[in-house]
């Protein structure tokens, strides 16, 4: 949804889509972060070499949520009829958020999930995989 909004700048912005994205962005992100921090990261382990990665990922959660708050405020303003004063800046803000999240998720896929999945029950593993790759993903298939 954020990509669609960014792609529609400057003149074809769907204001309703902005409101929907603004209403769901932070709650969804916070829920995902809470799940990772309470379920996935503990399953990843507490060894010192892994603890550094977990600290970094938790710091990224704070940064991502901060950027998501800015995006939410801006999308609410636009969604309620506000003028987009600088479409390039808004596009950059949106893309910065989803690029940061893509890097974060890629690291988790490569390093955290393979280790954490050994400690988690299968339904939770599938939930992690599906949240990263799509609803039909099978973590054992390599797809």
pLDDT at residue 54 in the model: 92
Residues of the chain with pLDDT > 90: what percent?
A: 48
Q: List pLDDT tens digits, range 123-143.
A: 554 544 444 444 333 333 333
Question: What is the DSSP-derived secondary structure letter of residue 140?
Answer: T
Q: What integer is the mean pLDDT of 79-99? A: 90
HEC profile of 12-46: CCCHHHHHHHHHHHHHHHHHHHHHHHHHHHHHHCC
**Dihedral sign for Cα atoms in the order 137, 42, 58, 103:** negative
* Counted domains in the chain: 1
| 42 within some domain | yes
Asked whether residue 119 is domain-assigned, the answer is yes
Which residues form the domain of 68?
A: 2-133
Residue 143 included in any domain: no
Q: Alpha carbon 97 to chain centroid distance?
A: 8
pLDDT digits (tens, 9 = 90+) for 24-36: 999 999 999 999 9
Could you give the CA distance from residue 113 to residue 117 in angstroms, rounded to a whole number? 6
Asked if residue 139 belongs to a domain, the reply is no
138 domain-assigned: no
Q: How far apart are CA 5 and CA 2, in angstroms?
A: 5
Take residue 27 and report the two structure tokens written for it. Answer: 């709650």
Selection from 72, 65, 81, 61 nearest residue 15 by Cα: 81
Q: Is the peptide bond before 10 cis (omega within 30 degrees of 0)?
A: yes
* Domain presence at residue 140: no
Domain assignment present for residue 141? The answer is no
Query: What is the per-residue pLDDT for 137?
Result: 38
Mean residue pLDDT of the chain comes to: 83
- Report pLDDT for 123: 52
Q: Residue 23 is encoded by which pair of tokens?
A: 């209403």
Q: Is residue 142 part of a domain?
A: no
């Amino acid at each position: 949804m954020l990509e669609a909004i960014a792609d529609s700048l400057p003149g074809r912005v769907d204001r309703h889509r902005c409101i929907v994205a603004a209403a769901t962005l932070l709650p969804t992100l916070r829920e995902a972060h809470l799940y990772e921090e309470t379920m996935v990261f503990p399953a990843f382990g507490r060894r010192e070499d892994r603890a550094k990665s977990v600290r970094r990922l938790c710091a990224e959660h704070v940064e991502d949520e901060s950027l998501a708050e800015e995006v939410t405020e801006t999308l609410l303003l636009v969604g309620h009829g506000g003028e987009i004063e600088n479409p390039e800046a808004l596009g950059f803000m949106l893309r910065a958020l989803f690029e940061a999240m893509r890097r974060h998720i890629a690291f988790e896929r490569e390093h955290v999930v393979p280790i954490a999945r050994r400690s988690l029950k299968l339904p939770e593993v599938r939930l992690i995989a599906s949240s990263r790759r799509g609803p039909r993903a099978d973590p054992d298939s390599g797809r």
